């Protein structure tokens, strides 16, 4: 039986966080000081992750994205990539990274079979990068990004988080940069997932505002008819034929009704939504000497069954999840 929830949504997409640790401190995700990370022994091992993926693939999961925290901080990540690529049924594997360690790891990741990469970069301005991430690592990220391109990653997409009052000067230059280097920029509305509780509706730079900025700064854009209606980004191409961009408008235009995603946190919790309040543990089952795959499958099924219609960001009913972004896995 495929993973269909009570609203008829088919779930074939799994995001796996491999660590809650990070080497930078984006203000919309992490606290300024190093947070209380979960104990290392709570992190799922690669064998446990692989087993979970085999079970999930047996239930119809076809796409996987590795994330974190910063996934490249997880030792021997290429080994995991290799193992997951080989799981029958998995058709698509991608990774989201902040790029800081790409110079050291891009080649090994590519050799392990990874091709699709999202690199997180909000600005092309070194000082603003430092202000946003509280680390002076802009040059390392740029170097890693271009190195990944040289190694052969394709596509490379750029994740740019759009917080009002900060990144307005970056919206158009980023789109130009993407056109120049053949990388799609994905503008992501600032979501209420930060560790310090600073999110406010007024701090969200909306997709419509950014679209208008880019059209007036560069030129007209045409909506691309949904190739994949379940993809979170709404995509546009420049009318002159050079490049495309996407918006993840979780706040101003939620796409919950098309959601096909499930999440596995680094400490082994299954979550049906980034904003879910409740989650279901599979780590104990993965570690129990006598638990069979069917027991793990039952947790996945139960989580999909419990899925709500959607988050309520912006409404008075909205309650932010108990874990911030870095600890869930974006
Ligand atoms: N460390 C990696 C990175 O930054 O790409 C992977 C994990 S990070 C949590 C995944 C993505 O979440 C990032 O690319 C960033 O764009 C996005 N993100 C983090 N906090 C966010 C927030 N409060 N609102 C919107 N997007 C956010
Ligand atoms: Fe780290 Fe990614 Fe969170 Fe930034 S968004 S603090 S890079 S986990």
The CB of 326 under 6 Å from ligand 2? The reply is: yes
Q: What percent of the chain has pLDDT over 70?
A: 100
Residue of 138, 325, 328 best suited for mutating to test ligand 1, as the one with most atoms within 8 Å of CB: 325
pLDDT at 260: 94
pLDDT value for 265: 98
Q: Which-ligand-closest: CA of 118?
A: 1
Whether 329 is in the pocket of ligand 2, judged by its Cβ within 6 Å, is no
Q: What is the pLDDT of residues 168-179, one digit of tens each?
A: 999 999 999 999
Whether ligand 1 lies within 6 angstroms of the CB of 28 is answered as: yes
Q: Which residues pair with 67 in a beta bridge?
A: 17
> Would you state the pLDDT for residue 230?
79
Per-residue model confidence as pLDDT tens digits over 116-157: 999 999 999 999 999 999 999 999 999 999 999 999 999 999
Q: How confident is the model at residue 330 (pLDDT cuts 50, 70, 90)?
A: confident
* Position 88 pLDDT exceeds 90: yes
d(CA 49, CA 316): 37
Mean pLDDT of the chain: 95
Question: How far, in Å, is the centroid of ligand 2 from the Cα of 292?
Answer: 35
Supply the pLDDT for residue 132.
98
Q: Which ligand is nearest to the CA of 186?
A: 1
Please report the pLDDT score of residue 183 as a whole number: 98
Over the stretch 212-252, which tens digit does the pLDDT of each residue have? 999 999 999 999 987 777 788 899 999 999 999 999 999 99
Instruction: Find out whether 327 and 36 touch, Cβ atoms under 8 Å.
Output: no
Ligand 1 test: best mutation among 18, 21, 29, 196, most atoms within 8 Å of CB? 29
Please give the distance, rounded to the nearest whole angstrom, from the Cα atom of residue 329 to the centre of ligand 2: 9
| HEC sequence for the chain | CCCECCCCCECCEEEEECCCCCCCCCCCCCCCCCCCCCCHHHCCCHHHHHHHHHHHHHCCCCEEEEECCCHHHCCCHHHHHHHHHCCCCCCEEEEEECCCCHHHHHHHHHHCCCCEEEEECCCCCHHHHHHHHCCCCHHHHHHHHHHHHHHCCCCEEEEEEEECCCCHHHHHHHHHHHHHHCCEEEEEECCCCCCCCCCCHHHECCHHHHHHHHHHHCCCEEECCCCCCCCCCEEEEECCCCCEEEEECCCCCCCHHHCCEEEECCCCEEECCCCCCCCEECHHHHHCCCCCHHHHHHHHHHHHHCCCCCCCCCCCCCCCCCCCHHHHCC
Q: What is the pLDDT of residues 283-300, one digit of tens each?
A: 999 999 999 999 999 999
Residue 97: CB within 6 Å of ligand 1?
A: yes
Report the interhelical angle of 46-58 vs 77-85 (nearest 10°).
Answer: 20
Q: How far is the CA of 265 from the centre of ligand 2 (A)?
A: 15
Q: Report whether residue 330 contacts ligand 1, using a CB cutoff of 6 Å.
A: yes
Q: Which ligand is nearest to the CA of 31?
A: 2
Which residue of 118, 161, 203 sits with most ligand 1 atoms within 8 Å of its CB, as the best mutation to test the pocket?
161
Q: How many beta carbons lie within 10 A of that of residue 316, not counting itself?
A: 5
Q: How far apart are CA 301 and CA 259, in angstroms?
A: 16
pLDDT, tens digit, 9 for 90 and up, residues 191-216: 999 998 899 999 999 999 999 999 99
For residue 116, which phi and psi values (nearest 5 degrees)?
Answer: -105, 125
Ligand 2 centre and the CA of 155: distance in Å? 21
Q: Is the CB of 19 under 6 A from ligand 1?
A: no
State pTM to two decimals: 0.96
> Residue 314 pLDDT > 80, yes or no?
no
Ligand 1 geometric centre to CA of 135 (Å)? 16
Domains along the sequence of the chain with CATH: 13-328 (3.20.20.70)
Question: Does residue 120 line the site of ligand 2, with CB under 6 A?
Answer: yes
Lowest mean pLDDT among 184-198, 239-253, 304-318: 304-318
């Amino acid at each position: 039986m495929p993973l269909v929830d009570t609203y008829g949504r088919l779930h074939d997409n799994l995001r796996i966080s491999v660590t809650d640790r990070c080497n930078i401190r984006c203000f919309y995700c992490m606290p300024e000081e190093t947070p209380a990370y979960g104990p290392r022994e709570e992190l799922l091992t690669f064998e446990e992750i692989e087993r979970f993926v085999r079970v999930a693939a047996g239930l119809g999961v076809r796409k996987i994205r590795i994330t974190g925290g910063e996934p490249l901080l997880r030792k021997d990540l290429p080994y995991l990539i290799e193992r997951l690529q080989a799981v029958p049924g998995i058709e698509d594997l991608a990774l989201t990274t902040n790029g800081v360690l790409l110079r050291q790891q891009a080649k090994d990741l590519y050799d392990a079979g990874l091709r699709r990469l999202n690199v997180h970069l909000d600005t092309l301005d070194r000082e603003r990068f430092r202000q946003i991430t509280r680390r002076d690592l802009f040059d390392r990220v740029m170097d890693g990004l271009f190195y990944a391109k040289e190694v052969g990653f394709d596509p490379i997409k750029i994740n740019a988080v759009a917080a009002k009052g900060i990144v307005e000067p970056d919206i158009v230059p980023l789109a130009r940069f993407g056109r120049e280097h053949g990388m799609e920029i994905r503008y992501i509305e600032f979501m209420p997932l930060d560790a310090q509780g600073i999110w406010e509706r007024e701090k969200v730079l909306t997709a419509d505002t950014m679209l208008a900025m880019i059209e007036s700064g560069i030129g007209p854009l045409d909506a691309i008819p949904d190739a994949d209606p379940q993809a979170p980004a709404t995509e546009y191409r420049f009318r002159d034929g050079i490049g495309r961009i996407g918006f993840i408008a979780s706040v101003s235009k939620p796409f919950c009704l098309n959601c096909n995603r499930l999440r596995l946190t680094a400490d082994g919790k299954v979550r049906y939504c980034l904003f879910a309040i409740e989650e279901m543990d599979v780590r104990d089952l993965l570690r129990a000497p006598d638990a069979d795959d069917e027991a793990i499958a039952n947790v996945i099924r139960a989580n999909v069954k419990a899925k709500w219609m959607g988050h309520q960001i912006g409404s008075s009913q909205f309650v932010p999840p108990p874990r911030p972004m870095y600890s869930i896995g974006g």
